Structure 1
Amino acid sequence: MSKRSTTTMAAVALVCALTVLTAPGAAYAAPTPPPSPSGASGTSGTPATPGGTKDLEAVRAKIDALYHDAAVATDAYNAAEEKADKQSVEIVHLAQKIAAGQQRLERLQKNAGAAAREQYRTGGIPREAQFMLSGDPQQFLDNAGRAYQGQQATKNLVSQLTRTQKDLADYAADASAKWKELEEGRKKKAAAQKKIEKQIKAAQKIESRLEKEERERLRKLEEEAEQKAQTAWLSSGVLKEINGRATKAGKAAVQFATAQIGKPYVWGAEGPKSYDCSGLTSQAWAAAGQPIPRTSQEQWKRLKRIDIKDMRPGDLIIYHDDASHVGMYIGDGAIIHAPRPGRSVTVAGAGSMAILGVVRPDA
């Protein structure tokens, strides 16, 4: 899992110490992930222990649907975590601005107090008025400029006081809004986590009911389905059109991803001991010096899209209509990806799943 909680705690400590934030507002429900391709969800309608290949295919479809829904929820969790990290940094910056503004306000108030005390000592008659009432014409001329400067200084002091007070009020309002958003994101993340754990538990429950021999057959069916899809993809002749060469950064990203082969998939993880699908791709490109969005859906939205025929090693292939999975193309029709819970980072056929499109981090 990521280590962003330290930043969040720092934001909480700074802002609470300044006591300028309001209490968080009402919670908002987490968005419902889109339905899986199979239409299956939750634990309802769980197939009985299979008695033949047809029954085992139904089991495989059910398990695939559950893990797909878990992947969608994982993207929602990761997106909420990434947003919370940014909001925490913004809150820290606002807290620092508030602290600096308070110090400035105290200095201005001190200067204003000194001016008020000076006026009291002169009996309420401003210094410039005293100059005007002087019987010495030369003194009047000499100090006329000073009187004007004093008037301007007083005007500027009042203006600075007003502006600083407004800035502090704006900073406090912004910090309060960010705090509320942070709390809403926390609730969304918690809801996504609950969804993930529910779907994974349901899939594992189905698998646990299978006998050892049936689990082997199920694994074989999964491999056959992937090989069938990959064969169909290669048979289209697409590989003959792909001749892109990796950039220096692309090679570095592929090298990083290759070094992670064999490490387990863990939802929400971004290394170094485990990864989810977008955790692997985002960390690979970060290691190559090119930070990219954390989630597969944001990678699809924000990175440059390219034609498959122009694909080169290091590019990311986005899968499924909802962009819920991602793998890194490594050449020769293959990808490296973190498949799902219970699996490890591995090499697979680029066409073994339904391709939504290809994006390029170093376009």
Structure 2
Amino acid sequence: MGSGKRTLTTATMALACAAAILSAPGAAFASPTPTPPSTPPPTPASTPASDEDLEAIRKKLDMLYHDAAVATDAYNAAEEQTDQQSAQIVGLAREIVEGRAKLDRLKDRAGAAARAQYRSGGLPPEAHLMLSDDPQEFLDGAGRIREGAQATKGLLTEMTRTQEDLEQYAQDAAAQWKKLEANREAKAAAKKKVKKQIAAAQKLESQLEKDEKKRLAKLEQEAARKSQTAWLGSGVLDEISGKASAQGKEAVEYATAQIGKAYEWGAEGPETFDCSGLTSQAWAAAGQGIPRTSQEQWKQLDRIDVESMRPGDLIIYNADASHVAMYIGDGAIVHSPRPGRTVTVAGAGSMPILGVVRPGT
């Protein structure tokens, strides 16, 4: 490694030498005597990391960034659910306000009926009818009484139903509020984990010298090349001949237009993207809404065989569906890889494929 950095081996040797000097028999300490200036001893050069060490670092970085991707999916899912629940609570609040206004109107109508009965001397309509001397008035009144009784019954029924609706709205709002708070906590926990995993990865990378970073990048490229070569060697590309739909072409055009933009976890553009932010926005631009996260894209979208995929389809990676990319044809994908990288084109088989899903038709 270069100047200013020591390996663990160098530090261990220095500590061992110091311990040996301090424990030497008869060692004594006195005021130092002046000595002529001399050239300081050279700092021992640290040993560059071996390929085996760098390969171990590469795998460790893969694990850290993978865990960050999983946490990012959890954050995105919690954020999406929080937005949905907030909208539901607003809708329920509106229903409660409207329901209360309706109940007030019904109560006013019931009060008016009670006041009318009071003004009639408190006698029920039937009594007034029986006291009438006019047969026609009797018959007409009988019809009005029947209609009035039915209207009163309907009014009371509507009041009861409105009151029950209000109670249900209140219960639903309380339940949604609890879910909202739970998702806010989940979102905060996921955010903390994302930052922790990325910070650990960045710290590990920062400890490498410039030359070692270059060698590490070559190891990453070689690993991706081997995976892609093995995938193509299976003959799968010979079977893939599907042509993109009109929507698929629009999605590919949007995704490839983002090449060079930085990865940012939780981002959906327009300047930065995470992996599922890129694919969901690409299909939104094509007029097709799809789930926000790679895991929900895997769960909810139609699954197809790898051999049947066509440009615009989404390839889901890793056993836990923690990464997603868009197939653009000729065995290639466009994706937003991870922190520190930009939207780029890569081999479709450069990562372990879980399956393929197709938005739209």
Both structures adopt the same fold (TM-score exceeding 0.5): yes
Q: Offset of 1:133 from its aligned partner?
A: 2.0
Q: Show the counterpart of 2:177.
A: 179
- Counterparts of 2:237 and 2:147, CA distance in 1: 79
- Counterparts of 1:50 and 1:69, CA distance in 2: 28
Identity of aligned residues (%): 69
Q: Show the counterpart of 1:242.
A: 240
- Counterparts of 1:355 and 1:153, CA distance in 2: 67
The one of 305, 308, 319 equivalent to 1:307 is 305
Q: Show the counterpart of 2:211.
A: 213
- Counterparts of 2:95 and 2:221, CA distance in 1: 57
Q: Offset of 1:72 from its aligned partner?
A: 0.4
1:124 maps to a residue whose letter is: G
- Counterparts of 1:109 and 1:241, CA distance in 2: 72
Q: Show the counterpart of 2:67.
A: 69
Q: Offset of 1:128 from its aligned partner?
A: 3.4
Q: Offset of 1:92 from its aligned partner?
A: 1.6
Q: Show the counterpart of 2:265.
A: 267
Moved more, 272-281 or 129-138: 129-138
Q: Offset of 1:88 from its aligned partner?
A: 1.5
Deviation string 1:229-277 (CA, Å, 9 cap, x unpaired) is 1111111111111000000000000000010000000000000000000
Q: Show the counterpart of 1:3.
A: none
- Counterparts of 1:110 and 1:293, CA distance in 2: 48
8 Å Cα contact 1:308/1:357 also seen in 2 = yes
SS at match of 1:317: strand
- Counterparts of 2:238 and 2:131, CA distance in 1: 98
- Counterparts of 2:135 and 2:230, CA distance in 1: 103
Q: Show the counterpart of 1:281.
A: 279
Deviation string 1:21-64 (CA, Å, 9 cap, x unpaired) is xxxxxxxxxxxxxxxxxxxxxxxxxxx99621100111111111
Q: Offset of 1:119 from its aligned partner?
A: 1.6
Q: Show the counterpart of 1:160.
A: 158
Q: Show the counterpart of 1:80.
A: 78
8 Å Cα contact 1:60/1:218 also seen in 2 = yes
Q: Show the counterpart of 1:18.
A: none
2:298 maps to a residue whose letter is: W
The one of 168, 171, 182 equivalent to 1:170 is 168
SS at match of 1:327: strand
Q: Show the counterpart of 1:258.
A: 256
SS at match of 1:323: coil
SS at match of 1:102: helix
- Counterparts of 2:199 and 2:331, CA distance in 1: 33
Q: Offset of 1:118 from its aligned partner?
A: 1.2
Q: Show the counterpart of 2:131.
A: 133
1:95 maps to a residue whose letter is: A
- Counterparts of 1:269 and 1:316, CA distance in 2: 18
Moved more, 127-136 or 272-281: 127-136
Moved more, 124-133 or 114-123: 124-133
Q: Offset of 1:129 from its aligned partner?
A: 2.4
8 Å Cα contact 1:261/1:346 also seen in 2 = yes
Map 1:1-363 onto structure 2 (within 5 A): 51-363=49-361
Q: Offset of 1:84 from its aligned partner?
A: 1.3
8 Å Cα contact 1:229/1:351 also seen in 2 = yes
Q: Offset of 1:298 from its aligned partner?
A: 0.5
Runs (4 or more) in structure 1 with deviation over 3 Å come to none
1:302 maps to a residue whose letter is: Q
- Counterparts of 1:321 and 1:89, CA distance in 2: 33
Q: Offset of 1:198 from its aligned partner?
A: 0.3
Deviation string 1:153-187 (CA, Å, 9 cap, x unpaired) is 11111111101000011011111111111111000
- Counterparts of 1:276 and 1:229, CA distance in 2: 23
8 Å Cα contact 2:49/2:212 also seen in 1 = no
CA RMSD between the two structures? 1.2
Give the length in aligned residue pairs. Answer: 316
- Counterparts of 2:268 and 2:246, CA distance in 1: 23
Q: Offset of 1:90 from its aligned partner?
A: 1.3
Q: Show the counterpart of 1:30.
A: none
Q: Offset of 1:135 from its aligned partner?
A: 2.6
Closer, same or farther in 2 for the Cα pair 1:49/1:269, shift >3 Å? farther
- Counterparts of 2:258 and 2:241, CA distance in 1: 25
Unaligned runs of 5+ in 1: 1-47
Q: Show the counterpart of 2:21.
A: none
- Counterparts of 2:212 and 2:127, CA distance in 1: 101
